[in-house]
């Protein structure tokens, strides 16, 4: 199974002084080749780094971003025609239901849907509207 890591999972693993133990335990059970990121996740992290005023934190987060790019090389998903088609279907469904979702979140969900990947996120309630299969690494796994 391929897991598509949302930004909150990546941030928890790379920038938190004390990452949630459930997230760490979950992450350690997934083979590295089965972990993917969205190009949008990389962009969100880059925007976060740029917004940090403290130079020491900014440098630390910049190093984390550089390491993410190395660690996920070849596993950073781009948005192509298949993903764009899934996005359009999500957008139409939500619009007809009188609701919406931020375009970056919809595109991340659409990428998971288009590739039949499981979206790993803490934000399951919000992203459930995309129809993506999800897993919340913060929740304790049953044995």
Q: Do 78 and 97 meet the contact criterion of CB atoms below 8 Å apart?
A: no
For position 142, what pLDDT does the model report?
A: 63
* pLDDT > 60? residue 143: no
* pLDDT > 80? residue 28: yes
Tell me how many degrees the CA angle 90-1-18 measures, rounded to the nearest 5.
90
Full-model pTM: 0.93
**Mean pLDDT estimate for the chain:** 95
Per residue in 69-94, pLDDT (tens digit) is: 999 999 999 999 999 999 999 999 99
Per residue in 103-129, pLDDT (tens digit) is: 999 999 999 999 999 999 999 999 999
- 118 has which bridge partners? 3, 133
For position 140, what pLDDT does the model report?
A: 79
Q: Do 59 and 52 meet the contact criterion of CB atoms below 8 Å apart?
A: no
For position 43, what pLDDT does the model report?
A: 96
Distances (CA, A) of 32 to 5, 7, 82, 83, 141: 12, 17, 24, 23, 19
Distances (CA, A) of 74 to 5, 39, 66, 84: 14, 11, 14, 20
Instruction: Specify the higher pLDDT residue, 46 or 143.
Output: 46
* pLDDT > 80? residue 141: no
Per residue in 43-71, pLDDT (tens digit) is: 999 999 999 999 999 999 999 999 999 99
Of 35, 134, 26, the closest CA to residue 75 belongs to: 35
Distances (CA, A) of 141 to 7, 21, 26, 27, 67: 21, 11, 8, 12, 28
């Amino acid at each position: 199974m391929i897991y598509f890591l949302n930004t909150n999972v990546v941030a928890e693993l790379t920038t938190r002084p004390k990452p949630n133990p459930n997230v760490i335990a979950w992450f350690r059970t997934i083979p590295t080749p089965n972990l993917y990121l969205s190009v949008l996740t990389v962009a969100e992290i880059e925007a976060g780094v740029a917004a940090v005023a403290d130079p020491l934190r900014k440098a630390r987060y910049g190093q984390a971003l550089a390491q993410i790019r190395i660690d996920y090389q070849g596993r950073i998903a781009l948005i192509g025609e298949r993903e764009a088609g899934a996005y359009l279907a999500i957008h139409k469904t939500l619009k007809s239901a009188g609701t919406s979702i931020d375009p970056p979140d919809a595109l991340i969900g659409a990428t998971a849907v288009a590739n039949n990947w499981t979206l790993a996120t803490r934000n399951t309630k919000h992203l459930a509207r995309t129809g993506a299969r999800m897993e919340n690494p913060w929740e304790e796994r049953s044995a």
